[in-house]
């Protein structure tokens, strides 16, 4: 066996892979590769090819995660896993999630090419559907790995009536054997990700060591009034569902600003989906649907806000003379604390790579927040242009991606020595 060389990443190959994956997008709406679509599958095929070319054993688990694995020298040791997600939001970026999957592949390649045989197995995981999917659920694959993908979720449907369980089968998952996706054999889960915020760029710091990840609760509210003619329906007789939605949205903003300013913990709330039917300029809307995205470092703040949202949306329905037809929790993830030993190892690795690093909290949700339920989990942030994300302008430089990937590699090598 050749003498092992020091494992080192190939920055050009890393960047080429990231750009290549970015070309797999809905034409005219870059960058869009929504989970469970043919484009997503094309992206998966690309990733599978890269994993197999790197000599990893590749499988799809029952929860639809794409997993590549390199065995270690000590059979039976738990695996050191790295990964993120390859699906995007509509008209999103080329880095959110994708950078973490591509970086993990490059780290596995570098280890294998160096001839280094680690003690622990190493896994690369592309977690299925981290972004809120057409079914309304996010982090589907990582929920499956931590036994939080239940029958009610598998029965969720999309706008066309497709059931999540069937969509899972279509990507190679197996809802009947979903329990087999649960992981109890991981020593660590590491996720490299763009910061999706402005701090690292503003501070000119290349590495963020994530301290904690917010919990996210998403609530769907439907109002039902009466569609009517915009010209002949007198104002005092209208039952305008969009009016109820607008009144609710205004209260959401007022109360979220107050909670965020109170300094009791990180808090934000957003309405990114507001639909009105039938959607004619000369029709008083008969129906309105909003989805509220609530995030906090403290579940008690989320609970307090949700109770207020319940009361406010009822009052808005009364004011608009409509019915509040639904108030449903679509998903509810708890905040996660990143593992102290992994964070210390990331800092040591950054130092060894000559990269400055700072602690930073994550206002974005991530698969690592779920993986923390079954193993020590931590994240490495890299800077992104003006903190932009979930938009085509999302960008990190080849140097920023390479620096983060080198730190990820060094962290894996050090954890292999430090962990049992």
Residue 98 or 353: which CB sits closer to Mn ion?
A: 98
- Token pair in block for residue 348: 């040591």
Binding mask 312-331 for ligand HGY (x = CB under 6 A): --------------------
DSSP-derived letter for residue 410 is H
Using the rule CB under 6 A, which residue among 194, 364, 377, 384 binds ligand HGY? 364
d(CA 127, CA 64): 8
Q: Check residue 191 for interaction with ligand HGY (CB under 6 A).
A: no
Q: Check residue 365 for interaction with ligand HGY (CB under 6 A).
A: yes
Among positions 58-97, residues that touch ligand HGY (CB under 6 A) are: 96
Residue 209 or 353: which CB sits closer to Mn ion?
A: 209
Task: Number of residues interacting with Mn ion: please give it, by CB under 5 A.
Answer: 2
Q: Check residue 131 for interaction with ligand HGY (CB under 6 A).
A: yes
In degrees rounded to 5, what are phi and psi of residue 278? -85, -5
Q: Which does residue 365 bind out of Mn ion, ligand HGY, none, counting CB within 5 to 8 angstroms by kind?
A: ligand HGY
For the sheet with 323-332, list strands across it: 267-277, 287-296, 215-224, 323-332
Question: What are the DSSP calls for 132-161, one per residue?
Answer: --TTS---HHHHHHTT---HHHHT-B-TT-
Rounded to a whole number of angstroms, the minimum distance from the CB of residue 329 to ligand HGY is 16
Buried b (16+ CB within 10 A) or exposed e, 265-299: bbbebebeeeebeeeeeeebbbbbbbbbbbbbbee
Rounded to a whole number of angstroms, the minimum distance from the CB of residue 96 to ligand HGY is 6
- Token pair in block for residue 283: 């029709």
In degrees rounded to 5, what are phi and psi of residue 359? -75, 145
Binding mask 82-101 for Mn ion (x = CB under 5 A): --------------xx----
For helices 299-319 and 241-262, give the axis angle rounded to 10 degrees: 150
β-strand partners of 380: 192, 209
Task: Number of residues interacting with ligand HGY: please give it, by CB under 6 A.
Answer: 5
Q: Check residue 100 for interaction with ligand HGY (CB under 6 A).
A: no
Q: Which does residue 140 bind out of ligand HGY, Mn ion, none, counting CB within 5 to 8 angstroms by kind?
A: none
Q: Which does residue 201 bind out of ligand HGY, Mn ion, none, counting CB within 5 to 8 angstroms by kind?
A: none
Rounded to a whole number of angstroms, the minimum distance from the CB of residue 364 to ligand HGY is 3
Rounded to a whole number of angstroms, the minimum distance from the CB of residue 89 to Mn ion is 6
Residue 178 or 192: which CB sits closer to Mn ion?
A: 192
Residue 252 CA, distance from chain mean position:
23
- Minimal CB distance residue for ligand HGY: 364
Q: Please answer whether residues 373 and 379 qualify as being in contact, where contact means their C-beta atoms are separated by less than 8 angstroms.
A: no
Q: Check residue 130 for interaction with ligand HGY (CB under 6 A).
A: yes
Residue 140 or 316: which CB sits closer to Mn ion?
A: 140
**Quick one: which H or E segment has residue 302?**
helix 299-319
Name the site residues for Mn ion (rule: CB under 5 A): 96-97
Name the site residues for ligand HGY (rule: CB under 6 A): 96, 130-131, 364-365
């Amino acid at each position: 066996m050749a003498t092992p060389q020091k494992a080192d990443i190939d920055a050009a190959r890393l960047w080429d892979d990231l750009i290549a994956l970015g070309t797999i997008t809905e034409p005219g709406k870059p960058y869009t590769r929504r989970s469970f679509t043919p484009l997503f599958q094309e992206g998966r095929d690309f990733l599978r090819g890269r994993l197999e070319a790197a000599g990893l054993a590749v499988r799809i688990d029952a929860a639809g995660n794409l997993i590549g694995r390199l065995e270690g020298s000590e059979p039976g040791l738990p695996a050191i896993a790295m990964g993120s997600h390859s699906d995007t939001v509509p008209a999103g970026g080329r880095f959110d999630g994708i950078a973490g999957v591509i970086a993990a592949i490059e780290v596995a390649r570098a280890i294998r090419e160096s001839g280094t045989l680690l003690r622990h197995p190493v896994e690369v995981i592309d977690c299925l559907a981290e972004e809120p999917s057409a079914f309304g659920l996010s982090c589907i694959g990582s929920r499956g790995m931590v036994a939080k993908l239940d029958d009610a979720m598998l029965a969720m449907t999309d706008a066309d009536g497709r059931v999540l369980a069937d969509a899972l089968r279509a990507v190679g998952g197996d809802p009947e054997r979903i329990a087999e996706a649960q992981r109890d054999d991981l020593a660590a889960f590491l996720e490299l990700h763009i910061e999706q915020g402005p701090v690292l760029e503003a501070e000119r710091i290349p590495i963020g060591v994530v301290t904690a990840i917010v919990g996210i609760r998403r609530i769907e509210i439907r109002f039902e009034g009466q569609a009517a003619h915009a010209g002949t329906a007198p104002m005092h007789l209208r039952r305008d569902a969009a009016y109820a939605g607008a009144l609710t949205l205004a209260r959401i903003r007022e109360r979220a600003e107050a909670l965020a300013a109170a300094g009791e913990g990180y808090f934000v709330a957003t309405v990114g989906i507001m639909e009105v039917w039938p959607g004619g300029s000369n029709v008083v809307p008969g129906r309105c649907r909003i989805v509220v995205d609530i995030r906090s470092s403290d579940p008690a703040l989320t609970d307090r806000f949700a109770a207020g949202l319940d009361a406010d949306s009822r009052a808005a329905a009364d004011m608009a003379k409509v019915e509040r037809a639904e108030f449903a929790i679509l998903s509810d993830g708890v905040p996660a604390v990143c593992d102290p030993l992994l964070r210390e190892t990331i800092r040591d690795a950054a130092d060894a790579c000559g990269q400055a690093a700072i602690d930073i909290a994550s206002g974005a949700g991530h698969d690592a927040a779920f993986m923390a339920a079954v193993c020590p989990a931590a994240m490495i942030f890299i800077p992104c242009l003006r903190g932009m994300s979930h938009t085509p302008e999302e960008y990190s430089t080849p140097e920023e991606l390479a620096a983060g990937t080198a730190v990820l590699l060094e962290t894996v090598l050090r954890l292999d020595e430090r962990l049992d």
